[in-house]
Amino acid sequence: MPQPRSKRQRASTKRSRTGCRTCRVRHIKCDESPTACHNCTSNGWACDGYEVNRLPRPTELVKSRPSLPRPPVASGFRWASTPDEKRCVSFFLHRTIPSLTSYYDSSLWQKLVLQMCYSEPAVYHAVVALSAINQDLEKHGIPIPGSESGSTWHGFALEQCGRSFGLLSRRHILQDPQLREVLLVCCLLFVMLELVCGRFDDATAHLQSGLAILQELRNQRLLQGLALVPVEESLLEAFLHLESQAMHHGLVPSPLQLEVYGLQLGEKSHEFQTLRDVQQVLHPLTDAGFAFLARCWTATDIEMPERYAALYTEQHRILSALHQFSLDFDRFRIQYHHKQTQKERRGADTAYLTYRNMQLACKTALYAKSCPLPVSFTEEYVELLLVTLEAMDKLEDRPLMTVESAICPALFTIAARCPDYSVRWKAIEALWAWPHCEGYLNSRLTADVATEQMKREMRCLWTEMKMTGSPAPQGLLFETQDGGTSVWIEGAWLSLEPNQELARSLESVPSAPSWACVKASGILS
């Protein structure tokens, strides 16, 4: 028996997706009056205005990307939340946090940030913004600097950032005693959001704000004769790790970095019992190593002799500490490997890769950049590539973004300096195969920069071959057609013409000329 016409109409009617934010969270029809709706003004409610960007429906999203999950809607907030925001918080819980903690478990992300998302509105809106960007990037991929996305997800994220900024400003006026912690968590979320969008200078501005807050907090604790509490320590560790990466992107190290790691970096033996014990020793080592490498890679071959004595002393100190770490770490792996979970074993493998990469990168950092490294290093680079590819294979669901850096630095070390061009090309292909961000390290951008550096060296090699009549290195075949030169490497032709799109992309970033990798590659020279 057919339904009456009125019932059929009611069944097919769709709920309006417009209206002011206040009416939507109250689930009432909005009259959509300009500036503030009549419902709110007549009932004495504060009208939160109209959102320009609304997210696509979950069904629309699933059709466009079947692999995306549909997690349950988040609940339990002390304030009104829109359905779009709840969807983003659920995605943050089910996808973004597991991505950020792919290498190691982290109480910072798995406890602190999540707890504050449910108790602090400013953190809540920052989480929603990062989650919206995360969902957009899963669909469209990691952007390169200078590319602007006009997607609804980006517009929605921008609105959420604005709400977070507004709440922080109001709390600052009230002199809230919990403001520092809220500011630091929001800064961290904003840094990650800007990095995955390819806006490195904006990320650095947020990073510097967080470091300034931490410096002030640490000075206050020292005056009071107190140590930082665990929450503050976890935030300090995250910010210092990001700062060490940012030094390769033009950032000058803060006094905080020098104070903290100047005291922690040593050669004493440690008895590791947990993976967290390993991290607490390895993090200062790798961060100090990042800073050392940035100083080496930004120095020209003309400048290097003037800095050599100081850099050699620092190199010896770091390598000695890494050697002691390796002895302690080997004992830990033998003693505790059988007791570890699969995630902990993966974390131990990541720590091992990080150590191996830092050791080789620091060992070769003082060699002249204008000359190839001795062929005797090739075997170590091949071993590092095998360890890196093995670590990649163990990541079943490869993350889109992490704060920890392990895979990208190792592959760039190989792609930038290995004496064997075929090995370098394999590292570059591995970077392209997994588009993702590890803090400041964008795999797509890293691969492009390493490619341009290798092409520049090959152009010099080709010129030398033509002048001297010397043969091409094993595995390479050069060919010139219509004025352009290409090289046959690992079963494919690679044009040696400069990548003008990459150059234009980097020129859109004011700090790019001071980046260590850009200076070493000569892309903007």
Give which of 119, 351, 106, 93 is closest to 234, Cα–Cα.
Answer: 106
Residue 89 belongs to some domain of the structure: yes
Residue 448 belongs to some domain of the structure: no
230 vs 277, which has greater pLDDT?
277
Phi-psi region of 371 (alpha: psi -120 to 50; beta: other; left: phi over 0): beta
Contacts of 259 by beta carbon, 8 Å cutoff, 6+ apart: 218
Give the residue-averaged pLDDT of 154-181: 86
Residue 92 belongs to some domain of the structure: yes
d(CA 425, CA 450): 9
Going by pLDDT thresholds of 50, 70 and 90, the confidence category of residue 9 is: very low
Q: How many CB atoms lie within 10 A of CB 466?
A: 11
Residue 110 belongs to some domain of the structure: yes
- Rounded to the nearest 5 percent, the helix, strand and coil shares of the chain are 65, 5, 30
Phi, psi at 404, each rounded to 5°: -65, 150
Strand partners, 479: 486
By residue range, what is the domain housing residue 112? Answer: 79-260
pLDDT exceeds cutoff 50 at 359? yes
Looking at residue 475, its pLDDT comes to 87
Looking at residue 57, its pLDDT comes to 63
Residue 284 belongs to some domain of the structure: no
**Count of structural domains within the chain:** 1
pLDDT exceeds cutoff 50 at 499? yes
- Both tokens of 288, joined, read 């100090």
Q: How far is CA 235 from CA 122, 148, 164, 186, in A?
A: 17, 30, 19, 11
407, 415 in Cβ contact below 8 A?
no
Looking at residue 65, its pLDDT comes to 42
Give which of 292, 360, 300 is closest to 326, Cα–Cα.
Answer: 360
H/E run at residue 489? strand 484-489
**Residue 182, class by beta-carbon neighbours within 10 Å (0-12 exposed, 13-18 middle, 19+ buried)?**
buried
pLDDT per position as a tens digit, 17-41: 567 766 766 667 777 666 667 777 7
Residue 154 belongs to some domain of the structure: yes
Phi, psi at 229, each rounded to 5°: -75, 165
Strand partners, 438: 402, 441
Give the residue-averaged pLDDT of 362-381: 93
Q: How far is CA 135 from CA 101, 193, 256, 402, in A?
A: 17, 12, 34, 15
Contacts of 29 by beta carbon, 8 Å cutoff, 6+ apart: 16, 19, 23, 39
d(CA 30, CA 345): 54
Ranges 142-146, 500-504, 510-514: which has the least confidence: 142-146
Contacts of 119 by beta carbon, 8 Å cutoff, 6+ apart: 78
Ranges 116-120, 226-230, 439-443: which has the least confidence: 226-230
Residue 142 belongs to some domain of the structure: yes
**Dihedral of alpha carbons 420, 423, 429, 435, sign:** negative
pLDDT per position as a tens digit, 35-76: 667 777 777 666 766 565 556 666 544 444 444 444 445 566
Angle in degrees, CA 19, 22, 24, rounded to 5: 50
Give the residue-averaged pLDDT of 166-194: 88
d(CA 509, CA 513): 8
Residue 313 belongs to some domain of the structure: no
**Dihedral of alpha carbons 398, 403, 405, 406, sign:** negative
22 vs 7, which has greater pLDDT?
22
pLDDT exceeds cutoff 50 at 7? no
Give which of 406, 415, 435 is closest to 290, Cα–Cα.
Answer: 406
Q: How many CB atoms lie within 10 A of CB 4?
A: 9
d(CA 144, CA 435): 11
